[in-house]
Amino acid sequence: MELSGIFVAVGVVLLVVVCWFGFYYLANSPMLSPEATAKVVGNCGDTMEMSLRIRDDRVEKTRYSSDGCSISQQCIEAAAMLAQGKTIEEVRKINMMHVIDIVGDLPDSHLHCAQLAETTLQHAIGDYVQKQRRMS
């Protein structure tokens, strides 16, 4: 392979990587000025973050992330899906069993992922309620 062929191959790979990360960022851009946020680190070391846009005491939009395993990511996504479109009081009733119902049976070693997702969601709702009290 000639030197120019190597440069072309490296350029193509670099272009694919840049496009992939650009698309990922656009599809998962951070929420600007969310009404509620939470960042919780579990005992396992996984971190989950959730931001909520709330209008008329109803969750209008969610953004979430986790630096944990795929099960951890599925659990925080399930918690966000469960909260979408619900009132604050309805979201307060969401627990880890609801998350497990969406994700499916979890091995005992990963039940903490559903618990962490529940905790993150409830901390975000707590953040919203606390901000509302300060504004009153």
For residue 130, give every residue at least 6 positions away whose Cβ sits within 8 Å of its Cβ, in sequence order, or none: none
| Token code pair at residue 123 | 């901390």
pTM of the predicted model as reported, rounded to 2 decimal places = 0.80
Which residues is 51 bridged to in the sheet? 37, 63
> What pLDDT was estimated at residue 77?
96
Rounded distance between C-alpha atoms, residue 48 and residue 15, angstroms: 30
Task: Give start and end residues of each alpha helix (H) in the chain.
Answer: 3-27, 70-83, 88-92, 96-103, 111-135
Residue with structure tokens 């070391």? 45
Q: How many whole angstroms separate alpha carbon 68 and alpha carbon 25?
A: 18
CB contact set of 74 (below 8 Å; sequence gap of 6+): 103, 113
For residues 103 and 71, is the Cβ–Cβ distance under 8 A?
A: yes
The verdict on domain 36-135 having CATH code 3.90.550.10 is no
Instruction: Report percent pLDDT > 90 for the chain.
Output: 70
What is the tens place of the pLDDT at every residue in 40-98? 999 999 999 999 999 999 999 999 999 999 999 999 999 999 999 999 999 999 999 99
**Arithmetic mean of pLDDT over the chain:** 91
